[in-house]
Structure 1
Amino acid sequence: MTARIPGDPVCGMTWGWVGTRGTWSTPEAGESMRLMSEHDVTWTALAYAAEQEHVYSTEIPLDGVQVTDDEIVGAIRQAHAHGLTVCLKPVVNVADGSWRAHIGFFDQEVPGEPSWAEWFASYERFILHAARIAEAEGCAMLCVGCEMVRADAQEQHWRALIARVREVYSGLVTYNCDKYQEDRVTWWDAVDVISSSGYYPIDAWERQLDRIEPAVLASGKPFFFMEAGCPSREGSPALPNDWALPGEPSGRAQLDYYTEMFRAVRARRWVRGLMLWDWPARLYPEQAAAADDDYCPYGKPAGEFMAAQYRDWGRERLR
């Protein structure tokens, strides 16, 4: 590798999604972050969303960001106080519930029709605002996009955006591509770190890592999974990206997934860590963990397993 991620491996957890206004600055949120840090987590992605109206809107209103600047700054400072390294992760969502991967416009601009140029102009304002906060607060990493599958092909727009980000932000820049896209993005040379959403079925990790490895090694960039994880629900290990999959709560299913995921990624030294999904600002009581069927591992068998894996993985760096 030509570069390293500071403090790698990334023993990480996403915190606070989706950034519901009023939930990041409470004592409850502070306790949630403290408990997360006690699970041998060393990195956190502070993830929050702005909303555009629909997939072909070209305006991302800054007043539609779901947490305030003060809440973002407060969360960064609180994470730093717990010794966590921070990746700031601003994400665009679609108000009608469509997945952001489907945001898209004509490849060639057509007069009178919404365009990529218009959308990127608005998106740039959103990302640069986050970049200035990240710089002022000393965030180690900024994620400039998440799972924008249709937008991935807009190479020149991404290169221009990243160049503008570097004018105001001096830390590491990454882009979180979606699963199965790691070997399709053509502008990895523009970022410092490659990252992706690794929601691969429990029996597909080896096959997918075999596919990803040549692209990562050819890039000369560090790589980690910016998202990965599995709901604690029956059936979820086979489709871990489906948060609405029907099934009974199951800590065993989540633990089985974590066991295979950690085994597979830790065997590949080019994978420099995991930023697991996810740990809410409003954390359920520990005694309610067995009935919770979402991604957070707190109070579940996967939580203890994750902490042990992160503890051991971190020791590898010191050997």
Structure 2
Amino acid sequence: MEYIKGVTFGYMSQRGEWEKEEAFESLRLLKERCAITHVILAVVVEQETVHTTKINWQADTVLSDSEVRKMIAFAQEVGLKVILKPMVNIADGTWRAHINFFEYDVPCEPKWSDWFTSYTEFITHYAQISEETTCDMFVVGCELVNSDRREKEWRKVVYSVRKEYTGLITYNCDKYQENHLTWWDAVDVISSSGYYPVDKWKQELKRIEKVVEREQKPFFFCEAGCASRSGSKWLPNNWELEGSVDNLGQKEWYEEMFRQTDVYEWVGGFGLWDWKSNLYPIQKATTNQDYALYGKPAEAVVRCYFKNK
């Protein structure tokens, strides 16, 4: 695996948004302003609740296959390598990590077996698109923490994906979960969400290093980021944290993350979080409290790091 200088693009985009000229311009600006070599294209679908077994990946709100293919093609035309990342969200706003069912099937209750059947149908569809468009990597799942323990089912999912896609496959586990997965051998690349507090990077990297050494596989942070909000550098995974704008705190977090990860050669890159397909006016960057990089001091840190890496 080559080093990944990447940013996640288009999270939460809905049908039609990737057909607009603004989306293509946004991706062009991302490459220009952040010096990336890879883009992670996030395609989001939903299920109604954490106990629903049907994933509505064919809903009218989901990005159409046509626009996904066109965005992949555009990214490749401007010289970017593409990582396709289909993601499941919950319609009521609950985090996908909480999707869960009884350990053993019970009549008249929602079952893991039914959920994995729906998930496999969903994920193999996008694996086919990844193969047909020659994406460089495919993310088979993201932060589905309660499902991580279902080793047998996940191995079947990866097997099904490999029937459709011949490139590199990764699973994006959540923060603190790297050493808990028992099926890393099934994928080609280990990846996780690096939302670690600004003062905890050293200890967390030492913990992750043991996993990488044990599994002998490439590793990168498929997500990593910090909101430009007061307090976020201490709790970057909390997207609901309340506070005032703190662009310098976000900048400090990125500087420290890069400083600490540079110590370890096994850190194979980043899919930083994130960049919108519909950008806010750049003059509003100073008032934006989101994870977005556009126009903020952290953007310059990312650009400098990627240009010199």
Band the TM-score falls in, shorter-chain normalisation: over 0.9
Query: Which amino acid in the other structure matches residue 125 of structure 1?
Result: E
TM-aligned CA deviation for residue 58 of structure 1: 0.7
**Which residue does 2:56 correspond to in 1?**
61
Say whether residues 1:121 and 2:117 are aligned partners.
Answer: yes
**Which residue does 1:20 correspond to in 2?**
14
TM-aligned CA deviation for residue 109 of structure 1: 1.2
Say whether residues 1:205 and 2:204 are aligned partners.
Answer: no
Give me the whole-angstrom Cα distance separating, in 1, the residues matched to 2:104 and 2:251: 47
**Which residue does 2:41 correspond to in 1?**
46
Query: Which amino acid in the other structure matches residue 35 of structure 1?
Result: L
Query: Which amino acid in the other structure matches residue 55 of structure 2?
Result: I
CA RMSD across the alignment: 0.9
Residue of 121, 132, 135 corresponding to 1:136:
132
Query: Which amino acid in the other structure matches residue 252 of structure 2?
Result: D
TM-aligned CA deviation for residue 244 of structure 1: 2.3
Give me the whole-angstrom Cα distance separating, in 1, the residues matched to 2:99 and 2:57: 18
TM-aligned CA deviation for residue 74 of structure 1: 1.1
**Which residue does 1:29 correspond to in 2?**
23
Residue of 187, 190, 204 corresponding to 1:191:
187
Partner-residue secondary structure (3-state), 2:148: helix
Say whether residues 1:283 and 2:279 are aligned partners.
Answer: yes
Q: Greater CA deviation, 58-67 or 119-128?
A: 58-67
Partner-residue secondary structure (3-state), 1:175: strand
Q: Which runs of 4+ in 1 moved over 6 A?
A: none
What TM-score do you get using the length of structure 2 for normalisation?
Answer: 0.97
Alignment of 1:2-21 (within 5 A): 5=1, 8-21=2-15
Partner-residue secondary structure (3-state), 2:18: coil
Partner-residue secondary structure (3-state), 2:170: strand
Give me the whole-angstrom Cα distance separating, in 1, the residues matched to 2:37 and 2:81: 6
Alignment of 1:144-293 (within 5 A): 144-293=140-289
Give me the whole-angstrom Cα distance separating, in 2, the residues matched to 1:116 and 1:244: 29
TM-aligned CA deviation for residue 234 of structure 1: 1.4
Partner-residue secondary structure (3-state), 2:145: coil
Post-superposition Cα deviations, 1:26-61, rounded to whole Å, max 9, x if no partner, equal: 111111000100121111110021111111111112
TM-aligned CA deviation for residue 22 of structure 1: 1.7
Give me the whole-angstrom Cα distance separating, in 1, the residues matched to 2:228 and 2:97: 25
TM-aligned CA deviation for residue 305 of structure 1: 1.0
Identity rate of aligned residues, in percent?
49
Residue of 68, 71, 74 corresponding to 1:75:
71
Query: Which amino acid in the other structure matches residue 130 of structure 1?
Result: Y
Post-superposition Cα deviations, 1:49-80, rounded to whole Å, max 9, x if no partner, equal: 11111111111123226211111111111111
Retained in 2: the 8 A contact 1:234–1:250? yes
Retained in 2: the 8 A contact 1:280–1:296? yes
Give me the whole-angstrom Cα distance separating, in 2, the residues matched to 1:48 and 1:62: 10
Retained in 2: the 8 A contact 1:18–1:66? no
Give me the whole-angstrom Cα distance separating, in 1, the residues matched to 2:37 and 2:114: 38
Q: Greater CA deviation, 223-232 or 19-28?
A: 19-28
**Which residue does 1:316 correspond to in 2?**
none
Gaps of 5+ in 1: 314-319
Retained in 2: the 8 A contact 1:14–1:45? yes
What TM-score do you get using the length of structure 1 for normalisation?
Answer: 0.94
Partner-residue secondary structure (3-state), 2:83: strand
Partner-residue secondary structure (3-state), 1:274: strand
